[in-house]
Amino acid sequence: MKWLRSFWDFWYDFVVGDDWRGAVTVVAALIVTAVLVHVAHVNAWWLLPLSIFAALGWSLRRATATRP
Amino acid sequence: MNELALALTVFVACAVEAVEALTIVLAAGLTREWRSTFQGMAAALVVLAIVVAALGPALTLIPISALRLVIGALLAIFGLMWLRKAILRATGHKALHDEASAYLREVAAAKAAERQSRRGVNDWYAFTLAFKGVLLEGLEVVFIVLTFGINQGSIWVAVIGAAAAVIVIAGVGIAARAPLARVPENAMKFSVGIMLTSFGTFWGAEGAGVHWPGSDAALLGLIPAVALVSLGYTVLLRRGSAGSAAVGDPAAAPAAEPAQPSGKPVG
């Protein structure tokens, strides 16, 4: 179990890093983009960059708000 | 992206990782024992070679749109992490990753650890320290080389860029026999963060089915846009933290960040 826990922690830290919200935002934006493109037939090229800019700002704001 | 830009991007990204791995290897080798350190490095390189041998051909079998979706998402997440760290360091909200300080911490931990022989290795601490350092930093190098190389259809250009970075950093490290504290690591991390985020966004959206305006030329707008937004956040945070040290470029910050003594990079 300890080995599994270490394995999970390693990959979580490697892929997700310090702020899981950034990862969730990217994945959610990609899902919404795919839905817009394939279901609503909207070429939503702008959605992912805007989401990433917002995620970066949000993450920085959270990080600086909690650090003196 | 032309081949020179691909090679340069991979070179800078891999140089950052190589500098961090070098610090750990030097701490293990100079304070403990070189033979066990080299054994640890060799074991890590074997594991990395297995990862490349398994992942490389497997990745080329996946349809390009699915590959771009997954790899784009991962690159964008990586890029966000790198940009976040670089901006926090540049604005003084997170201490700089200082290789000299990291080296001293690793040396102190290495000197304090007991010497144990295990499984044919004279000094197990030196072995594991070098193994972990090279494996962790090497995995990032492998990821960057495979994703950029396969997506651009120029895996060998990416490999050459990465190999050149490792050779240059290792050569300078061997010559100096000291951690490369003067490498502008944060500025490099900032630049690579912009590239990873831009390419991750581009490929991820393409994988989701988007047609970028101007096709590949959209990158010429996307990269400056990511850079401008990141610089904008840097300026805003500096203004917000007026009174703390003001810095002129993303490489500058007032304090040094301690290393984690376990061989785990803090990059």
Residue B112 pLDDT more than 50?
yes
* Domain contains A26: yes
Q: Flag if A30 and B88 touch (Cβ within 8 Å).
A: no
Say what the pTM is: 0.71
* Domain contains A29: yes
SS (H, E, C) B35-93: HHHHHHHHHHHHHHHHHHHHHHHHHHHCCHHHHHHHHHHHHHHHHHHHHHHHHHHHCCC
* Domain contains B224: yes
Residue B179 pLDDT more than 70?
no
Give the number of A-B residue pairs with CB atoms closer than 8 Å. 101
Distance CA B206, CA A33 (A): 10
What total number of domains does chain B contain? 1
What total number of domains does chain A contain? 1
Distance CA B83, CA B226 (A): 10
Would an 8 Å CB–CB cutoff place A38 in contact with chain B?
yes
pLDDT digits (tens, 9 = 90+) for A7-65: 777 777 777 777 888 899 999 999 999 999 999 999 999 999 999 999 999 999 888 88
Over range B50-73, report the average pLDDT: 80
* Domain contains B265: no
Would an 8 Å CB–CB cutoff place B210 in contact with chain A?
yes
Q: What ipTM, to 2 d.p.?
A: 0.88
* Domain contains B266: no
Domain that holds residue A38: 17-66
With cut-offs at 50, 70 and 90, classify the pLDDT of residue B258: very low
Closest-approach residue (CA) in chain B for A47: B205
* Domain contains B92: yes
